[in-house]
Amino acid sequence: MSESLVLLEKAKSGCAHLVINRPEVHNAFDDTIIEQLITGLKEAENDPDVRVLALRSNGKNFSAGADLSWMKRIANNSYAENLVDAGRLAELMRCLYHFSKPTICLVQGAAYGGAVGLAACCDIVIAEEVSRFCLSEVKIGLIPAVISPYVVRAIGERQSRRYFLTAEPFNAHEAYRFGLVHEVVSDSSQFDEALEKFSGFLIGNSPQGMHSAKELIFAVSNKEIDETLINDTARRIAEIRVSPEGQEGLGAFLEKRKPNWIQE
């Protein structure tokens, strides 16, 4: 990808790595990086060989959030220009949150501002013990607007009411307690081992099943358990049972063999 600010690295294992590669400024992102991340997500989405996506970055810090020079530039833009600009960051979050395949985020060092949003959009987050998170926008008179739907879902309204307002940092163990982080490792040298563990689980599962499971979560989350929802869940399981992968998975289980999506 151009300028090597974002790298998309594909492995034979089926786990692709989308890497922010701007360590000299702590992987702070601007409009160029946002567009390259969107492009990388779409490329990985459309590649049938990609079964799992790992979002990570090079250097000591995952991301310091928005780049200061970019913020200085957009501060002089009109409302209309700012609306377009914010819309692209919102599109990045939407693409990552609704990515059809499993996503794993690896967080080292600092994850500030919009970087917390990137983590919240991923299915699984692994963080090193010394990593720290901060929703720092109010310190400079802003708000974590476009990332808020994902962060509030990840850490809950109660914690959001504290950390959106105080802009105080919280560590990996607190992030784990809030639900933002799923696993804490002692340091980033253990990322590959943890990633291999999770990707091993995921690559052994039905691609269609995992995609449908993600859609199911979005469909039932925070919804009233009424007749409409119950009927929708019945429809979803009936449809996947008669689908090609559903038939293959059930057949493999009954015949005590590996399904055809597991490659030797």
pLDDT in tens, 75-109: 888 999 899 999 999 999 999 999 999 999 999 99
Residues 94, 25: Cα–Cα separation, whole Å? 25
Domain ranges (residues) in the chain? 2-203, 207-255
**Pairing outcome for strands 6-9 and 15-20:** antiparallel
Question: CA-based Rg of the chain, rounded to a whole angstrom?
Answer: 19
For residue 257, give both structure tokens. Answer: 């063999």
| Annotation: CATH topology of 2-203 | 2-enoyl-CoA Hydratase; Chain A, domain 1 (3.90.226)
Other Cβ atoms within 10 Å of 170 Cβ, number: 20
- Name the amino acid, one letter, at 185: V
pLDDT beyond 80 at 40: yes
pLDDT beyond 50 at 29: yes
Q: Give residue 3's pLDDT.
A: 62
Mean pLDDT computed over 186-206: 94
| Chain position carrying tokens 């790992």 | 54
pLDDT beyond 90 at 4: no
SS3 content of the chain, % helix, strand, coil (to 5): 55, 15, 30
Q: Give residue 13's pLDDT.
A: 84
